[in-house]
Chain A
Amino acid sequence: MLDTVQQPTTSSHESVVPSWTGVVRHLHLTPRAFLPMRSMPEIVLIAGKGIEGDRYMIGREQGFYSHKPEEGRQVTLFEDETLVALKRDHNIDLGPEEHRRNVTVAGVPLTHLVGRRFWLGETLLEATRLSIPCRHIEEITGKAIFDPLINRSGLNCRILQGGIVRVGDAVRNDA
């Protein structure tokens, strides 16, 4: 028998405290546009710059979109749950190395984080904007994933505090 469950009575926005804890599932980088993303056990984030060895690190700029400089694109994240949804809803197998974001996380509501700060392992990030899907990924993967990735194509972030991020690290809100 089900117990009676009481709905929360508050409707104040200020009282809503985001409550989540996620985990880093995969880490990837690549030094140049078009090249395959390589799985890494750990990556080094440099505050205000980017990921050591990655194509979008400021000062390196060898990515497909490097001709469009963006200070808030130092590290990119992607939800592991989206990979599950692509398979479930569209029967598309997309690996964590194929979405071309750097960090695949689980249990993190990326779309809620724009404008917020959060901890990725020992590093502190500020989410600048949602990533948008691009035809470039379809060109590289040969998979029709543009439409299914609209509104869930990841998150662009600025690095406020650098450090080493490892697979298995916790991801948590900056309370």
Chain B
Amino acid sequence: MSAAPITTVKTVVETIEDSGAGVKLFSLVDPDHWELPPFRPGAHIDLHLPGGLVRTYSLCNDPADDCRYLVAVKREGCGRGGSVKLHDEIRVGDSIGVSLPRGGLDLPDDIERFIFVAGGIGVTPFLSAAAFLKRTGRADFALHVLSRGEPPLRRLLAPLAASGHLVLHDTAARARPELAKIIGRQQCHIGLGCCGPESMIDDFEHAAGDWPAGRIHIERFVPPPLPVDPNAKPYTLVLARSRLETRVAPGQTMLSAIQSLNVDIPASCCGGICGSCKVNWLEGAPVHRDRVLSPAERARSLMVCVAGSADDRLVLDL
């Protein structure tokens, strides 16, 4: 008998490939090479690492490649420790629990052309999207990769270079290109995507300011800082299924309040961008501060890492 509930997908590390520019490529598979839960192009998963670390990475591979999850990890020596652990401690054959895939790019059929702009390791979700688009016969896209010197993941980029879809911008050799020129003027048949460091995202959002939000996909490396609400009030948080409740103090996150009740909940970015801690709410008036839920999803769900409550009482389906 299994003593504890199984909360993650069990995978083992099949291969680890040095992919240049401080990046390692991890291939995760089921122990019996069974199919893994399906994913959308550029979706992301949480890796549950030894020591309790949970880190979110985009999937690089084609969703049709359904027996493995391919994640590229850049070693960030000054980061929060997840990438260092993966680079320095994880070996082929190790087990890693992962979450179900979430998110990904919306690539609707009525969009005829896509322009993707990636900063360095931010290329990962677009590698998955590019593979999907090529396989499904929708070859009208361009992938711009901005990097200082050698771009990461050369091997995975090579087929896109050969097919003329890749445009490399070496920002060590010349000035960063103007994103407005890459994007061009707004056209209803074009979709945009951007993933990279915060400064690049800011420039991209400025350059695409007049584009409809529904045709822009943005992914961030790190969550933006949550503004402090000087008018925050305490509220009662009720966990309906657990039959527990607690008072959430002003400035305290809903996530920490739940954790204080010893209720286990997956969380990763703690900034409302990864989607790991999504929970359905039942009663009350949530204040949504995440960057991932659509208006329709917010009618049912919230992200406990950043959400608050406008009422004195909020009930979660937890």
- Whether both chains belong to one complex is answered with yes
Q: List residues of A whose CB falls within 8 A of some B CB.
A: 30-36, 38, 61-64, 66-67, 69, 135, 139-140
Contact across chains for B38 and A61 when beta carbons are under 8 A apart: no
Total count of chain B residues near the partner, CB < 8 A: 19
Contact across chains for A62 and B2 when beta carbons are under 8 A apart: yes
Given contacts A32-B10, A62-B6, A64-B6, contact A140 B100 (CB under 8 A): yes
Interfacial chain B residues near A35, Cβ < 8 Å? 9, 30, 34-37
B5 to chain A, nearest CB (A): 5
A36 to chain B, nearest CB (A): 5
Chain A residue with Cβ nearest B3: A67
- The majority secondary structure among interface residues of chain A is loop
Contact across chains for B5 and A67 when beta carbons are under 8 A apart: yes
Contact across chains for B9 and A34 when beta carbons are under 8 A apart: yes
Q: What are 10 contact pairs spanning A and B, CB under 8 A? A: A30-B34, A32-B30, A33-B9, A34-B8, A35-B36, A61-B2, A62-B6, A63-B6, A67-B1, A140-B37
Given A34, A61, A62, A66, which contacts B37 in the complex, CB threshold below 8 Å? Answer: A34
Interfacial chain B residues near A61, Cβ < 8 Å? 1-2
A135 and B32 alpha carbons, distance in the complex (Å): 26
Chain A residue with Cβ nearest B36: A35
B233 to chain A, nearest CB (A): 30
Contact across chains for B32 and A31 when beta carbons are under 8 A apart: yes
Chain B residue with Cβ nearest A53: B32
Q: Is the C-beta of B162 less than 8 angstroms from some C-beta in chain A?
A: no
Interfacial chain A residues near B32, Cβ < 8 Å? 31
Interfacial chain B residues near A135, Cβ < 8 Å? 317
Contact across chains for A32 and B34 when beta carbons are under 8 A apart: yes
Interfacial chain B residues near A34, Cβ < 8 Å? 6, 8-9, 37, 100
A96 to chain B, nearest CB (A): 16
Q: Is the C-beta of B78 less than 8 angstroms from some C-beta in chain A?
A: no
B93 to chain A, nearest CB (A): 18
Interfacial chain A residues near B35, Cβ < 8 Å? 35-36, 38
